[in-house]
A and B are shown apart, each in its own frame.
Chain A
Amino acid sequence: MDRVPILQIGDVLLVSIQVDLQDQSVLNLQEDLAERISATGASGVVIDISAVEIVDSFIGRMFATIASLSQLFDADTVVVGMRPAVAITLVELGLTLGNVRTALDLDRGIKILRVLHERRRGLPGTGHAASTLGLR
């Protein structure tokens, strides 16, 4: 069974899903991710699904699960690069992603995480950056 690689960039973990997911690999990913976040103390998780063409309700739920999971470690989750067909499918399935934030691409996703992180630490001068990214 292929395991999805989890890469670390600064204090952000990047999960890039390049294969069509099986239920078992989704479970493995959740497990691995929980371990990695707790080990690294990462402040954010980016899930890149730009290569994912097919989703079902199980995978749809994965995003919400990962988000709640990383929330326990005080990390934010951003899903980036969702394809139109995937978005339509998730809407038709009636799934919402809960606490998950979304971004068009990896670059924007990491920016959002940075702003969220700074805001959480209460750093000054982030008001403008937050408004730039449409965060409320």
Chain B
Amino acid sequence: MPANADRAHRLSGLLADNAGTLLQRWVQLAGAELQGRLTVAELERDLRELLDTLLPVAGRQAADVRTGADFTELNTVLTELSRRRARQNLTPTETASSVFALKQAVFELTEQDDDPALFRELITFSSLLDSLGLLTFEAYTRAREEVINEQEVQLLELTTPVVKIWEGVLAVPLVGTLDSGRTQVVMEKLLQSLVDTGSEHAIIDITGVLAVDTQVAQHLLKTVVAARLMGAECTISGIRPQIAQTIVALGIEFGDITTKATLADALRHALRSDGLSVVRRDQVGA
């Protein structure tokens, strides 16, 4: 359809010729939407970049956005913009509105023209912008998901410290919810630390664990047995009254695994089996 292509050139030409005023109007409209959450200079820089990459493909169909090779640059710019805004805590609506604001600016530019062909092109252009708006939504969600995943990894690292509380005694204070993934991390970290420090005692403190079900108990038991296989003794401490009730109600057997009420008790137990005892200084002589 050569004639169609020619006409499409007409809108593109019109946009390219008026790029300056278009940009100013777009910045104005998008700025009103954002209510001053971005500076005008910042917004103008973003939108200029967007407009520069958008103009060469302005005559294309909306369906080409995902597949067209010449859309790669525009997609990158748009994704980057959306990602940046996601990290600045702007809502996806605000980001998409910035894109949609261009429609208004273009309509104002072509209002006086009553060429039906141009009108048709405008419709096409409008749906192209709709697709781009949706793209920002997607990029926004992806960016947020990345943030969440990062935080999950950090949380995993943060919540599973293995600390040395005495010569040859390691402790793992567990906090939060235990699932198989986390228990696996705890298990590996604890066992590796046993080797690295040559410790013969490990204490898993579950004071901060909200709930214990059969699966969690199973994981804890596995950790204890694995530590035992390596030649270390593992104690579980900090079982809260409610959790003790649950464990009994579920019929979980801890077998010959030592369990203590508090971390302090577990430490005393570890020291005692090492042949040490803690006594008051004034009672030493007595």
Contact = CB atoms under 8 A, between A and B. Distances in A.
A101 B229 CA distance: 8
Among B227, B230, B232, B233, the one with the most A-chain Cβ atoms within 10 Å of its Cβ is: B230
Interface residues of A, number: 25
Given A84-B195, A104-B194, A105-B198, A90 B274 contact: no
Contacts of A79: 229, 231
Given A84-B188, A104-B232, A108-B200, A91 B226 contact: yes
A102 interface: yes
Contacts of B233: 134
Interface residues of B, number: 22
A39 interface: no
A82 B275 contact: no
A88 B231 contact: no
A120 B226 CA distance: 28
Contacts of B229: 79, 82, 86-87, 90-91, 97, 102
B227 A87 contact: yes
Contacts of B232: 104
Interface string A101-136: 111110011000000000000000000100110100
A134 B200 contact: yes
A102 B195 contact: no
Interface string A67-109: 0000000000001101111111011100011000111110011
B274 A80 contact: no
Interface of A: 79-80, 82-88, 90-92, 96-97, 101-105, 108-109, 128, 131-132, 134
24 contacts: A79-B231, A82-B229, A82-B230, A83-B195, A83-B230, A84-B188, A84-B195, A85-B188, A87-B191, A87-B226, A88-B226, A90-B226, A90-B229, A91-B226, A91-B229, A102-B228, A102-B230, A103-B231, A104-B199, A104-B200, A104-B231, A105-B231, A131-B273, A132-B275
